[in-house]
Amino acid sequence: MYPDLKGKVVAITGAASGLGKAMAIRFGKEQAHSNHENMSDKTKTTGYKMAERLLTEFDYGNVTKLPNGQTLREYTVNGYAFAFMNHPIKIKKDQLVRIYLSNLTEFDLLNSFHLHANYFTYYPTGRNDNPSQFTDTIMQCQGERTGIRVKHGYEWI
Per DSSP, 102 falls in state: E
Q: Which fold has domain 90-157?
A: Immunoglobulin-like (2.60.40)
Query: CA-CA distance, 17 to 25, in Å (whole number)?
Result: 11
User: Residues 20, 13: contact at Cβ < 8 Å?
Assistant: yes
Query: CA-CA distance, 24 to 50, in Å (whole number)?
Result: 14
Tens of pLDDT along 60-83? 455 667 787 766 666 666 555 566
In the chain, where are the structural domains located?
1-85, 90-157
Tens of pLDDT along 82-119? 666 766 667 777 888 887 777 766 666 777 887 777 88
Q: How does strand 96-102 pair with strand 110-114? A: unpaired
Q: Exposed e or buried b for every residue in 60-82, given b needs 16+ CB within 10 A?
A: bbbeeeeeeeeeeeebbeebbee
